[in-house]
Amino acid sequence: MNIKIQLSLFILLTSLFTANTWAETANTQAIQLAAAPASTTSQDDDFTDTGDDDIEISDPFQSFNRAIFKFNDAAYVHVLKPIARGYRAVVPQGGRESISNFFSNLLAPVRIVNSTIQLKGQDASNETFRFLINSTIGVFGLFDVAKNDFKINIKKEDFGQTLGHYGIGNGPYIVIPLLGPSTIRDGIGLLVDGTWLDPVAYLDETGEYLAVKFIDIETTISLDKDTYEAIKKDSLDPYIFLRDAYIQHRAGAVKK
């Protein structure tokens, strides 16, 4: 646990030095986003004007990132995915869905706290309600009763989104070993959420922590419909494709 806190402090400190560049990126982004709606409307058959509103991505560590991307790809193809296939064969889908619900419910504190910091009162109370209902009637979160019977859907919030909500830009894009696409901002978000708000972090043994996270990741992969394989198959440069998808997806999540 100590190592994690030290690490997050280190990154927070180094980030202070780069805060200026961030503010700049955040600014250009805001301008570009604000300018976006006007550009797509006018002409009838000319669609060449779109693209000016794309979010600019800072990727100064690209060659390093690509190396980690390659490593992650190999880990996924040769280790994580084959295990997920075996897992699929042994545990029926319904069981894996319940396990996925369980892990998702466990992260309710991350969503509640971050909704609260962003002053999204309705979301915070919805997530609290979901957590209480699913942990009790939903048997420790195995069943998403709140969604199925009360029609209250999950609303994901994390510390990266909180930082974004308060105007902090992505900073450089990074690829984290085994975790994949992220940015400096979202990486800090992961550390903050993962250190203080994720209940699994309070397990005493590192081995236990890793084992739980491993099951979590394998469950997610086992339920996924080969999204990564599809991206790899369809795109000429999966690294860029994933990078842009990640940045767009996060921008959308911050806005919500």
151 belongs to the binding site for other proteins (CB under 8 A) = no
Question: How many residues comprise the chain?
Answer: 256
* Contact with other proteins (CB under 8 A) among 72, 101, 114, 182: 101
User: Shortest Cβ distance from residue 99 to other proteins (Å)?
Assistant: 10
User: Shortest Cβ distance from residue 100 to other proteins (Å)?
Assistant: 5
User: Shortest Cβ distance from residue 244 to other proteins (Å)?
Assistant: 5
- Residues between 175 and 234 that touch other proteins (CB under 8 A): 223, 225-226, 230, 233-234
6 belongs to the binding site for other proteins (CB under 8 A) = no
Q: How many of the other CB atoms lie within 10 Å of CB of 68?
A: 17
251 belongs to the binding site for other proteins (CB under 8 A) = yes
241 belongs to the binding site for other proteins (CB under 8 A) = yes
Nearer to other proteins by C-beta: 78 or 233?
233
Q: Which of 12, 213, 200 is nearest to 110 (CA)?
A: 200
96, 219 in Cβ contact below 8 A? yes
Nearer to other proteins by C-beta: 144 or 193?
144
Going from the C-alpha of 130 to that of each of 103, 118, 145, the distances in angstroms are: 14, 19, 8
Q: Give the x-and-dash track for 7-46 against other proteins (CB under 8 A).
A: ---------------------------------xx--xxx
Six-digit token string for 156: 């994901």
47 belongs to the binding site for other proteins (CB under 8 A) = yes
User: Shortest Cβ distance from residue 54 to other proteins (Å)?
Assistant: 6
Q: Which helix (H) or strand (E) holds 114?
A: helix 108-117
63 belongs to the binding site for other proteins (CB under 8 A) = no
| 196 DSSP 8-state letter | I
Nearer to other proteins by C-beta: 18 or 248?
248
Nearer to other proteins by C-beta: 8 or 134?
134
Encoded amino acid at 31, one letter? I
* Contact with other proteins (CB under 8 A) among 153, 177, 178, 214: 153
Q: Is 169 strand, coil or helix?
A: coil
User: Shortest Cβ distance from residue 190 to other proteins (Å)?
Assistant: 19
Q: How many of the other CB atoms lie within 10 Å of CB of 1?
A: 12
Q: Which helix (H) or strand (E) holds 176?
A: strand 173-176
d(CA 45, CA 60): 37
Q: Which of 190, 199, 227, 171 is nearest to 23 (CA)?
A: 171
- Residues between 71 and 100 that touch other proteins (CB under 8 A): 93, 97, 100
Helix axes 93-106, 81-90, angle to 10 degrees: 120
Which residue ranges make up the site for other proteins (CB under 8 A)?
40-41, 44-52, 54, 57, 93, 97, 100-101, 104, 153-154, 223, 225-226, 230, 233-237, 240-241, 244-245, 248-249, 251-253
